[in-house]
Amino acid sequence: MLHIREAIVVEGRYDKNTLSQVVDTLILETGGFQIFKNPEQMALLQRAAERRGLIVLTDSDGAGFVIRNRIKGAVPARYLKHAYIPDVYGKERRKRRPGKEGKLGVEGMPPDVLEQVLRRAGADFLDGDSLSVPSGPPLTKAGLSAAGLSGGPNSALRRQALLKRLALPEHMSANGLLAVLNGCYSREEAEEILKNS
């Protein structure tokens, strides 16, 4: 498993699933073209970019470039790195037919190709010593529960208030919030956020 500092944004959940088998970092989804309709999702991408940098890894088809350009227009260039997958024609196993342009997307790329494109993009790969940055084990769902943000009465309302305070998408699940707290904040910062929720 490769560890990198930057967060990575991909188009959808299948891309995220494939990438999570290669790298250990915060992986965010645009939901395809939903990124155009969801300012809160864009705010989340901007927050992740400011906190740790953001690598844009979209498919190599026309739709992927439209999404990439939307992100490029909303997030300052100093926080962005762009990873490009090669044009490989075929179809992903889960699909009945190839995509409109007949190219494989991120989900169809083998792990070694994904590693190569991340290295070419200039991803900051962390060595064993650098992994201690969060200073402590990551937060767990039990921590959210103890803070009253998951699994209890009014936890959804409390979580929504926290999401609003952090300028995160209002429909973010408890698991999504946990990923952001562990991925964008140090352990101490995340604990302080929970304490003040």
Encode 14-48: b = buried (16+ Cβ within 10 Å), e = exposed: bbbebbeebbebbbbbbeeeebeebeebbebbbbb
* Contact criterion met (CB below 8 Å) for 93 and 44: no
pLDDT for the residue 164:
83
Helical packing angle, 155-165 and 174-184, nearest 10°: 40
What pLDDT is attached to residue 173?
Answer: 78
pLDDT at 80: 95
pLDDT along the chain (197 residues), means of 10: 94 95 93 88 89 94 92 94 89 81 90 93 75 61 89 89 78 78 80 85
Residue whose C-alpha is closest to residue 19's, from 43, 47, 55, 44: 55
